[in-house]
A = this chain, B = another copy of it.
Amino acid sequence: MNILIVEDNKELAAEVYDFLCNAGYVCKITHTCEDALEEVASNDYDAMLLDLGLPDGDGFEVLQAVRKTKSKMAVIVLTARGELDDRINGLHLGADDYLTKPFALTELSARLFAVIRRMHGFTVNSLSIHGFLLQLQDYKVSYNEVPLSLTKKEFDIFQYLVLNKNRVITRLQLTEHIWGDILEVNSDSNFIDVHVRNLRKKLDKHRSIDWFETVRNVGYRISE
């Protein structure tokens, strides 16, 4: 999974870079339109994160150029700019999604995943960590080729934590992500804890536990 990050703010670019690398993507940063166009021409990226306000031109130019090559690359526009007009133009020109700065990295991760998935069917179809392989298509997990059976919720939680590995994910984030809008902030329950517990129990048989931490007062984290 190759991602091109086109963003002149180096701090932000680096932050996104780290995050996406951690999430298992192979990333490359460019800071200008020119470099971006060159990268796109010479390499085969699955997705591009495109800032609009670049020093040597408007990001839209890059977007247009990319679309002309009828490449299957997904493009997510990252914009701090004035809002809707840009959005429209962008969608018109073929951006697949938008994120307005500032954005949460987990949000970026989710959008990126969705967009790539939409793009070429199922390119991101598995995640692996510490010997476990998650096949996202069919909700299967295995540990060194040996399948183990997780329930859907357990799988969802595992996947989300792996997708955001090295980051602490709060119970609220998990709830929102996995249960969607369903429940009216019913967070007086401990069902997350219970699912996590059951998940851990199943993973534990296959030696794990130390990289699947509970962060007190915050949530859970799976580290690489």
Contact = CB atoms under 8 A, between A and B. Distances in A.
A80 interface: no
Contacts of A92: 84
A184 B88 CA distance: 31
- Copies of the protein in its oligomer: 2
A1 to B, nearest CB: 21
Contact of A180 (B84, B85, B91, B180): B180
Contacts of A88: 84-85, 87-88
Interface string A82-97: 0011011001100000
Of A84, A88, A92, A184, most buried by chain B (CB within 10 Å of CB) is A88
A190 to B, nearest CB: 19
Given A84-B91, A85-B88, A87-B88, 5 more contacts: A84-B88, A84-B92, A88-B88, A137-B184, A180-B180
